[in-house]
Every structure is written in structure tokens, then in C-alpha cells.
Amino acid sequence: MSRYSRITGTGSYLPPHKLTNADLVAQLGAKGIETSDDWIVERSGIHARHFAAEGVFSSDLALEAAKNALQAANRTAQDIDLIIVATSTPDMVFPSTACILQGKLGAAGGAAFDVQAVCSGFVYALTVADALIKSGTARCALVVGAEIFSRILDFNDRSTCVLFGDGAGAVVLEASDTPGILSSDLHADGKHVDLLCVPGHVSGGAVSGLPLLQMAGQSVFKLAVGVLESAARAVLEKAGKTEADIDWLVPHQANIRIMQSTAKKLKLSMDKVIVTVGQHGNTSAASIPLALDHGVRSGQILPGQTLLLEGVGGGFTWGAVLLDF
Ligand code: ACO
């Protein structure tokens, strides 16, 4: 009998402090940095973002999302034998945020590690968990995307600081006799490291280099649109499906214009795209599971439907996962 992996529960969490565009415009304006609600909405589709309070870490957001996913899957932390956290904003240099989350959940014993693929982190993590389940190494995995990007934003750079937010999303992925995850496609191109990076590093007890996000927005935009289409086509081909089989596109929530462009290339109407960027901005690795959980809890995504998840981000990394929900 073939062994597959299947999502059995989803969860998400946004920290309570919400900043609307008007709030952020006022805060930046007080520092002499000019921006506007119109510019942010027109260029990105973002209306608001959530920022974590001081002393709150990615593992805290991950914990809340994980608890919601476990409850939805009717599982407890003791059932989990694998935790993968996708994050670019870990609590510490080490140990991994996954280990910290495991400790907070009280789920000792299984494997736990982080995946670092920036905004593609969740599709990378889901693909790794799927492979570990299919190989028989794990049976019940918690796959989480959790980020506190507000701590790595340069609030003197209006072209980036208005775009990102904090949050977490999670799924429980379990071994199953029926698929589940149908196909995955992961890529990276390291020659584009400088397009989107946080170049700082820890050295000799101090941070060396700028520990704040730098992005060449237009170049990222152009690359993103092309690779998202190719990853989508690759997972469809691997699974023997076509665009017509997609019930929902659940894309990385970076920018509404990137999502519109991908949908157009795949001949999907925007009614088939889960869009949450407006309410939480770009939450990097958290954005796909946040959107997925929103789609499930709002009653849009239904059991048995076919979903295309896809992400793109720093590295440059990109990838997609096609699955039956
Ligand atoms: N408010 C007002 N004006 C602004 C702002 C702002 N917040 N930011 C930039 N501008 C100005 C610029 O200075 C420029 O002015 P100029 O024409 O006088 O020089 C003008 O707006 C246009 O700037 P562009 O950078 O050309 O604007 P663009 O239409 O490209 O939109 C954006 C910028 C939103 C960043 C877009 O390029 C984009 O979405 N890129 C992709 C970003 C993305 O998806 N990143 C996530 C990848 S995932 C990850 O791994 C984190």
C-alpha cells in the first residue's frame, strides 16, 4: 500500500497589535518620511499589518498557530513526531525555533528543525515533511511558518517598511492511504542573494553589517512573476493535472499585483485565489499557511478540493505544492 501525506488541520495567529496604513503613515510622517494609504494600497494591496509586542518571539506566534492546527486536526502535541518551522526571524541564532516551539508545546522526542528559505519557507518545509512521511521516518508532522519581520524592517526606508508584518500559520500533516500532497517543485538561484537580504551577521559578540531588510523591489517583482508561473506549471505536469483542476490558488501574500499576474498567466479568475495580504501584509514564510487557514475557516476551501500553494522569496528561492485537501 502506498503511503501519502495529507493535511488534517490548519491554524494561524496574528499578534493583536494591528497598524492600519493610516497609523503607519502617521508614525512615518512624524519622522519626516512621506508615504500614503493610496500609494501602499495601489502598489501592494496592503491595508494593515500586525506587529508583535516587545518580548514576543516567532516561537510564541508559532505556538498559537500550532495549537489551533492541532485542535482542528483533533490531535494533541503528544501525537507529533516531527516539527518543521519555516522562519527567517528565529528567536535565537540557535537552537532552532522548532526546538523552542517543541519545548513550549511539551511534545518532546520527535525531530525538530527550522527551514530557512525566506518567503518560500513554507512550501520548502511542507515538501520536506511530505518526503519524511512518505519514507516512513515520520507519521504526524507539524509544519509551521512563523515570522516577526517588524524587527528586521528599516523604518527609514519607505519602499520596504510599509510592506511587511508579523504572524504565524501551521498545518498538521499526517500519513494517509490516500493523497494528500500530489507534487512539489522547489528551486533556488543563489546569484540573486543581493536582491532581497538582511546582510548583518553575529561576530565576536556584536552584529556586523546591517541587520535590516534590503530589497530591490522592481527586480524582485519581475523575477517573482516568471518563476511562480513555471513552478505552478511544473507541479501540475508532475501530477498529470491542468489549470482547470485547481479549485484554489493559495499564493505567498506579498503583493496583490503579483497574485493577479500569476492568476492571469494560469487563466484563473481572482475568485479562485485566496487573498489575505490586505489584512496582514507580507508575513514571509507565515503568509501561505495564514492564507490557507483563512480559506478553510471562512468556508471557502472545502475537503476534497485541489489547492495550489506557491511561494517566492529571498535566496532567490521559489516553489509550489499541489495537494488534495
Ligand atoms: N510611499 C510613497 N512613495 C514611495 C514609497 C512609499 N512607501 N516607496 C517608494 N515610493 C516611491 C519611489 O521613491 C518612487 O518614486 P520616484 O518615481 O519619484 O523615484 C516611486 O514610489 C515608485 O517606486 P517603485 O519602486 O518603482 O514602485 P513599484 O511600483 O515597483 O512598487 C514595490 C514597489 C511595491 C516594492 C514593488 O516593486 C513590489 O511589490 N516588489 C516585489 C516585492 C515583493 O514581492 N517582495 C517580497 C518577496 S518575498 C520575500 O522573500 C520577503
173 touches ligand 1 (CB under 6 Å) = no
8 Å CB contact between 161 and 215 = no
Question: In the listed set 177, 193, 225, which residue is the last one of a domain according to the structure?
Answer: 177
Between the CA of 297 and the centroid of ligand 1 the distance, in Å, is: 32
Give the pLDDT score at 211.
96
| pLDDT tens-digit series, residues 253-284 | 999 999 999 999 999 999 999 999 999 999 99
| Chain Cα centroid distance, residue 245 | 23
Looking at the fold, whether 132 and 194 belong to one and the same domain comes out as: no
Lookup: cell for 316: 532567490
Please tell me the distance from the alpha carbon of residue 111 to that of residue 186, in angstroms, as a whole number.
22
Point out the catalytic residue in the list 50, 99, 140, 252.
Answer: 252
Cβ–Cβ < 8 Å for 126, 292: no
Indicate whether 173 and 308 sit together in one domain. Answer: no
Burial of 117 (0-12, 13-18, 19+ CB in 10 A): buried
AA letter at 47: H
216 shares its domain with 115 = no
Q: How far is CA 124 from CA 83, 203, 296, 319, in A?
A: 13, 28, 21, 7
The backbone torsions φ and ψ at residue 123, rounded to the nearest 5 degrees and listed phi first, read -70, -35
On whether the CB atoms of residues 45 and 153 are closer than 8 A, the answer is no
Q: Which of 21, 68, 255, 282 is catalytic?
A: 282
Classify 306 as helix, strand or coil.
strand
- Chosen domain end from 126, 147, 177: 177
pLDDT tens-digit series, residues 172-228: 999 999 999 999 999 999 999 999 999 999 999 999 999 999 999 999 999 999 999
- Expressed in angstroms and rounded, the spacing between residue 203 Cα and the centre of ligand 1 is 32
The whole-number pLDDT of residue 40 equals 98
Give me the number of domains the chain comprises. 2
| pLDDT number for residue 70 | 98
Query: Which residue's CA is the nearest one to ligand 1's atom 47?
Result: 313
What spacing in Å lies between the alpha carbon of 269 and ligand 1's midpoint? 25
282 is catalytic: yes
108 and 169, same domain (yes or no): yes
What is the tens place of the pLDDT at every residue in 25-70? 999 999 999 999 999 999 999 999 999 999 999 999 999 999 999 9
**Ligand 1 neighbour 307 (Cβ under 6 A):** no
Q: Is the pLDDT of residue 22 over 70?
A: yes
Question: In 3-state terms, what secondary structure has residue 264?
Answer: helix
Asked if 119 is an active-site residue, the reply is yes
- What CATH number did the domain enclosing 74 receive? 3.40.47.10
Q: Which of 177, 200, 216 is the last residue of a domain?
A: 177
SS3 282: strand
Residue-wise pLDDT for 98-125, tens only, equals 999 999 999 899 999 999 999 999 999 9
Phi, psi of 257 (to 5 degrees): -70, -35
68 is catalytic: no
Find out whether the beta carbon of 213 lies less than 6 Å from any atom of ligand 1. Answer: no
The reply to whether ligand 1 has any atom less than 6 angstroms from the CB of 258 is yes
Ligand 1 pocket check for 43: Cβ under 6 Å: yes
44 lines ligand 1 (CB under 6 A): yes
Side-chain half-sphere CA neighbours of 283 within 13 A:
37
Give the domain extent around 200.
182-324
Active-site choice (50, 68, 99, 119): 119
The residue assigned the cell 519545548 is 103
Whether residues 83 and 198 share a domain: the answer is no
| Percentages (nearest 5) of helix, strand, coil residues in the chain | 40, 25, 30
pLDDT at 287 over 60: yes
pLDDT at position 1, please? 57
Top mutation candidate among 38, 189, 197, 221 for ligand 1, by most atoms within 8 Å of CB: 221
Judgement on whether residues 206 and 242 belong to the same structural domain of the protein = yes
